[in-house]
Structure 1
Amino acid sequence: MHPHIEKLYLSAAKPERLIIGLMSGTSLDGLDVALCRISGHGRYTDVTVEAFTTCDYPQEVKDKITQVFAKQVVNLEYLTLLNAWLGQYHGQLINQCLARWQVSADEVDVIASHGQTIYHSPKHQHAYNEFGNATLQIADADHIAVTTGITTIADFRQKHIAGGGEGAPLAQYGDYYYFASADENRILLNMGGIANLTYLPKGAEINDVICSDLGPGNTLMDAYMRLHFSKPFDEDAKVARQGAVNQLLLNELLNAPFFALKLPKTTGPEIFNLALLEQAQATSQTQQLSHQDVMATLSALSANIIAKYINELSSTDTAVYCSGGGVHNVWLMQQIKRQLAPHVSLKNSDVLGIHPDAKEAVLFAILANECLAGTPANKQVSEVPNITMGKVSFAD
């Protein structure tokens, strides 16, 4: 048996595994790195986050990714080079984290890398009848593995598509395995660039779970702030608070075809971008709005769609646990809360033991744990493929 295969076999047989989960989302703000000790698998998964940090991307890294991010036409040579470079860079960031945490590479069983989404194109979003769902993440896992000396499991979304899914959201698996409750109706709401949720009715089986993208979380607001204020986001909602919601523009934004699709569905900045906003302003004749009014309206859009779907899913007492960068936008959180039904409570995911910024990195660590130690399933569940995800890259 090859030594690497033997090591994977031994890791799978261990009572617990040390897995590093990585996440870099559509906000392009940095790499979330979560050091997770995981035991069990499936519904018997137990996770302890032993360390977590976000490695902020310097502006030059953001600029590199932005050159190819969510664009239909890119420089293919540059994309090829960036794929390898970003994998090496992520590996270097992991090495820095391990040194800071005083953890040796030999102690870590595997790295679980989401990669950096460059383009997401579900079938409902493109015009090519002969093609199905597709997605592309870069930050090559072989480069991460070689740079760190740690076996790396990555490219989870491709298997999801190959199994009949849209490649997103993948939170359904980890949310069900770790957060489902026998006593409480739960919604796990993640507000990154795109907002998504997982609905977990109490006592749920996997086919009772609903997981879907909802629409823009921070992506439109962040893009507008970068363009007009040269800032990555609206800190403390200082700009949005100064404006007034324009109902004409809000109604036009809500007319986006994505919102007419039934759950579950996926989307990304390929759709929710400044071109969409520009078109909506032209149609609603609101081009002369102040920047403050536009930001107030974009914030209202995110709050409106999030609250709408939560209320539709919550017919009785339900606890909503929030994660992602949006939880730091107190103004947005207040807007959502005001629109929720009285029987719905809003909390942060740290109440469940997972830091709001760490949750998605932890979920990919859980997916890697399933790849190592889970039980394969050979059936389609609730329109979502119940399959083992992840490709394995060895360190040498």
Structure 2
Amino acid sequence: MTRAIGAISGTSMDGIDVVLADICTEPTQVRLTLLAAQTWEYPASLRSQLWQVAQGEPISLPDLAALDDRVAEIFAQAATEIQTGFAPAAIIGSHGQTVYHQPPKSENGDSRLGYSIQLGRGATIAQKTGIPTASNFRAADIHAGGHGAPLVPRVDAYLLADERQSRCIQNIGGIGNVTYLPPRGTLSVRRHPKTLEGEFPVSAAQQDWERQIVGWDTGPGNSLLDMAAAELSGGEQTFDRNGEWAAAGTPCQDLVDRWLQHPFFQQPPPKSTGRELFGRSFWQTGLADARDRGLSDADILATLTELTAASIAHSYETFLPQMPDLVLLCGGGSHNGYLQQRLYERLQPANPTGTPIEVRRTDELGVSADFKEAIAFAVLACWHQQGIPGNLPSVTGARDYVLLGDLHGFPKSMP
């Protein structure tokens, strides 16, 4: 059992989700006890600066270095405070703050590796906390030809899979991402295959099952909704609480259908995205489209909510091997009751069996919907410590399993 901290700030950039958990990792199972979980809000000035950088505003190298350290210091503060009243953690897994993500690309026979920047360097966190810190989790998968995203599906697999039921774990943060988990059956450890990083405890049975797991970024989650709520309210709201504003409007299906023609939605997995595609530029174009059609503010929120629901359902129908028995929501969007209702309605016609597809939250299965991503990076840090790969090549497109993260600092028992 390892006491670990997991920390992440997502695409919404509203703060740091941090957890403290006791984690036991086994070849075919992850067991954990969540001891503490909290969200630390970014100071308004820092959030504004991060937002500007993520939107492509120029920044000097000295200013970028200072911003990197400032983010790390706040992560370190959150990691320190979450341990209050508990024995100290043995390791920290810090995702940091993504400010740029470029998927890999192939053109005319030439392959270009992806590129992803997360601020909040692990060396600073380790130095401030005195706890070994794993960070920069996306780099190894990218170096192996993958997208470096999404990285949570292997954790999802060993936390939330079922022996008989197929499940989709749908995160709705700023950007949405899905993990499809086929029924897992019974797994056993038989051999240790050679991978890019050496010998890993991945059995033949595990590999056969894991190859059937797929996942990708589905498109906008809350990113466009939050921008719309902030701008349409004149800054008085930062999000549409429970989807109440959207529920008062009427979605424009013609506009949703138009937006769904975006090339990203047609692109087969593996695929990943961010604010580079579904950020301010998309929002401003979408707002102009909506105003041209005479939509009210509530109609605009309803239409953007419909885009999130429709893009998820379209993604499932187009790219999944079969529709799931159950969809489990997590992330901030899981609190949006109107979005959950629209997603449920969108999924039913796409299911050829006619059996209703349930839409629930991961909380109902004992995994916090608000903090699942932070939990995942605590697990990934433990896996790094134990030499267990964290990526799923079937999801990211990497050539093989790789050990994720760079480890900074040393155990306190070492000289």
- Which TM bucket (shorter chain)? 0.7 to 0.9
Flag the 1:135–1:238 CA change in 2: closer, same or farther, 3 A.
same
Q: Show CA shifts across 1:269-293 (max 9, x none).
A: 1101231233356568726432222
Flag the 1:73–1:41 CA change in 2: closer, same or farther, 3 A.
farther
How far does residue 311 in structure 1 lie from its aligned partner after superposition?
4.5
**What is the aligned partner in structure 1 of residue 161 from structure 2?**
180
Contact 2:173 2:331 in 1 (8 A): yes
Specify the SS of the correspondent of 2:54. Answer: coil
Q: Distance in 2 between matches of 1:242 and 1:377?
A: 43
Q: Distance in 1 between matches of 2:343 and 2:406?
A: 38
TM, length-normalised to structure 2 = 0.84
Q: Distance in 1 between matches of 2:296 and 2:392?
A: 52
Contact 1:215 1:267 in 2 (8 A): yes
Question: Amino acid of the residue matched to residue 344 of structure 1?
Answer: I
Among residues 385, 401, 406, which one is paired with 1:386 in the alignment? 401
Q: Distance in 2 between matches of 1:381 and 1:26?
A: 24
Flag the 1:167–1:158 CA change in 2: closer, same or farther, 3 A.
same
Question: Amino acid of the residue matched to residue 182 of structure 2?
Answer: P
Please tell me whether residue 142 in structure 1 is matched to residue 123 in structure 2: yes
Flag the 1:239–1:155 CA change in 2: closer, same or farther, 3 A.
same
Q: Distance in 1 between matches of 2:295 and 2:167?
A: 39
How far does residue 34 in structure 1 lie from its aligned partner after superposition?
1.1
Q: Distance in 1 between matches of 2:157 and 2:389?
A: 16
How far does residue 305 in structure 1 lie from its aligned partner after superposition?
1.2
Point out the more displaced range, 32-41 or 193-202.
Answer: 32-41
Please tell me whether residue 308 in structure 1 is matched to residue 314 in structure 2: yes
Q: Show CA shifts across 1:290-322 (max 9, x none).
A: 222211110000011112333453746611111
**What is the aligned partner in structure 2 of residue 193 from structure 1?**
174
**What is the aligned partner in structure 2 of residue 328 from structure 1?**
335
Specify the SS of the correspondent of 1:386. Answer: coil
**What is the aligned partner in structure 1 of residue 268 from structure 2?**
262
Please tell me whether residue 220 in structure 1 is matched to residue 224 in structure 2: yes
Q: Show CA shifts across 1:129-162 (max 9, x none).
A: 7742111000111111111111101110011101
How far does residue 73 in structure 1 lie from its aligned partner after superposition?
3.6
Please tell me whether residue 347 in structure 1 is matched to residue 354 in structure 2: no
Q: Distance in 1 between matches of 2:390 and 2:313?
A: 34
**What is the aligned partner in structure 1 of residue 91 from structure 2?**
110
Bigger proportion of residues as helix? 1
Q: Distance in 2 between matches of 1:190 and 1:304?
A: 15
Contact 1:18 1:110 in 2 (8 A): yes
**What is the aligned partner in structure 2 of residue 6 from structure 1?**
none
Q: Distance in 1 between matches of 2:227 and 2:391?
A: 41
Among residues 25, 33, 44, which one is paired with 1:40 in the alignment? 25
Q: Distance in 2 between matches of 1:65 and 1:122?
A: 20
Question: Amino acid of the residue matched to residue 209 of structure 1?
Answer: I
How far does residue 124 in structure 1 lie from its aligned partner after superposition?
4.7
Among residues 357, 378, 383, which one is paired with 1:370 in the alignment? 383
Flag the 1:142–1:71 CA change in 2: closer, same or farther, 3 A.
same
How far does residue 121 in structure 1 lie from its aligned partner after superposition?
0.8
Q: Distance in 1 between matches of 2:91 and 2:232?
A: 42
**What is the aligned partner in structure 1 of residue 200 from structure 2?**
none
| Root mean square deviation, CA, Å | 2.6
**Structure 1 unmatched ranges of 5 or more:** 1-15
**What is the aligned partner in structure 2 of residue 291 from structure 1?**
297
Q: Distance in 2 between matches of 1:26 and 1:166?
A: 16
Q: Distance in 1 between matches of 2:228 and 2:63?
A: 26
Question: Amino acid of the residue matched to residue 369 of structure 1?
Answer: C
Question: Amino acid of the residue matched to residue 247 of structure 1?
Answer: Q
Contact 1:250 1:301 in 2 (8 A): yes
**What is the aligned partner in structure 2 of residue 252 from structure 1?**
258
